[in-house]
């Protein structure tokens, strides 16, 4: 009989024993619900800043305090020359002579700056939400257009195809007068990009620079780079809850009630 009355016996921690006249099917439903609640509570999801670079004093380190990830130092030394972090302008910079004239040339010439986000918590995943930064241009002569292309990928990505660009931004040289520093605030929405959700491996962000000039009297800059993400982290207390539920399962005994003569 599938629904034959049974007795569910539960030995509680304080020694109190209770008996409930319920069916086997109801017993299974109760236990399944308890386990489901434990699994739902087993992870914590929170939205936070996972990388934050202001480059104050020429620092390459991220000022974020999120604990499940570590944002490595911002690397502006990939090109052999013409790229770095300035302690005077408190920004990352790239000289035009160190760049290609278009994205294809920038990709082949490794004309980029980068940082990597490492997952530090076992079993954790992250979903990227947004990337913001200030794109700056400084010149002492007639300016040409300056472009930056944003690439984000996992540690297995090749970063060799222009179609993999997440976003492209161009500042027109005609927008500035001589001797000026101009800033454009940029925002890249990432939450709608499927491949950047539920990541369980290290993630790299690259900024490729390019323009049509080889002049030494212009400087391209990036500043105030911030990456936000929601992370799902297994909580030790919740894992203990799951273990407790599993232990409880071993203490449940189903005893068939005697049938009436």
pLDDT of residue 7: 39
Tens-digit pLDDT profile for residues 7-30: 334 343 444 444 545 555 655 555
Evaluate if residue 87 carries a pLDDT over 50. Answer: yes
Checking if the pLDDT of 136 tops 80, the result is yes
Domains detected in the chain = 5-42+237-256 (no CATH), 45-234 (2.60.120)
Residue 42: pLDDT band (50, 70, 90) is very low
Q: Quick check: 76 pLDDT over 60?
A: yes
Residue given tokens 């069916």 in the structure block: 23
What stretch of H or E contains 212? none
First CA to last CA distance, the chain = 17
Q: Per residue in 159-170, pLDDT tens?
A: 878 888 888 888
Calculate the CA dihedral of residues 115, 119, 125, 129 and round it to 10 degrees: -30
Q: Classify each residue of 192-209 as buried b or exposed e, where b means 16 or more C-beta atoms within 10 Å of its C-beta.
A: eeeebbebeeebbbbbbb
- Among 17-26, 77-86, 123-132, which range has the highest average pLDDT? 123-132
Lowest mean pLDDT, pick from 104-113, 119-128, 186-195, 227-236: 227-236
Work out the average pLDDT over 192-220: 85
**Which tokens go with 16?**
């109190």
User: Of residues 197 and 155, which shows the higher confidence score?
Assistant: 197
- Residue 211 neighbours by CB distance under 10 Å: 25
pLDDT score, position 37: 47
- Dist CA 171 CA 175 (whole Å): 8
Question: Does residue 1 surpass a pLDDT of 70?
Answer: no
**Rounded mean pLDDT, 115-144:** 84
With cut-offs at 50, 70 and 90, classify the pLDDT of residue 59.
very high
């Amino acid at each position: 009989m599938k629904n034959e009355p049974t007795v569910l016996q539960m030995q509680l921690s304080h020694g109190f024993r209770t008996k409930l006249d319920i069916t086997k099917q109801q017993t299974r439903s109760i236990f399944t619900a308890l386990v489901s609640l434990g699994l739902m509570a087993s992870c914590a999801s929170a939205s936070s800043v996972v990388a934050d670079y202001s480059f104050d004093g020429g620092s390459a380190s991220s000022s974020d305090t999120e604990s499940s990830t570590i944002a490595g130092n911002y690397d502006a030394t990939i090109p052999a020359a013409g790229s770095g972090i300035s302690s005077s302008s408190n920004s990352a910079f790239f000289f035009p002579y160190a760049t290609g004239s278009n994205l294809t040339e920038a990709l082949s010439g490794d004309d980029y700056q980068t940082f990597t986000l490492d997952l530090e918590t076992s079993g954790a995943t992250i979903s990227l939400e947004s990337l913001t930064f200030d794109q700056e241009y400084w010149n002492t002569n007639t300016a040409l257009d300056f472009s930056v292309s944003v690439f984000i990928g996992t540690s297995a990505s090749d970063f060799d195809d222009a179609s993999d660009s997440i976003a492209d931004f161009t500042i027109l040289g005609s927008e500035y007068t001589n001797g000026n520093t101009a800033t454009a605030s940029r925002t890249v929405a990432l939450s709608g990009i499927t491949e950047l959700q539920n990541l369980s491996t290290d993630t790299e962000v690259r900024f490729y620079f390019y323009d049509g000039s080889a002049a030494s009297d212009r400087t391209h800059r990036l500043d105030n780079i911030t990456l936000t993400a929601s992370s799902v982290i297994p909580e030790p207390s919740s894992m203990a809850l799951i273990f407790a539920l599993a232990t409880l399962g071993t203490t449940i005994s189903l005893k068939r009630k005697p049938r009436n003569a």
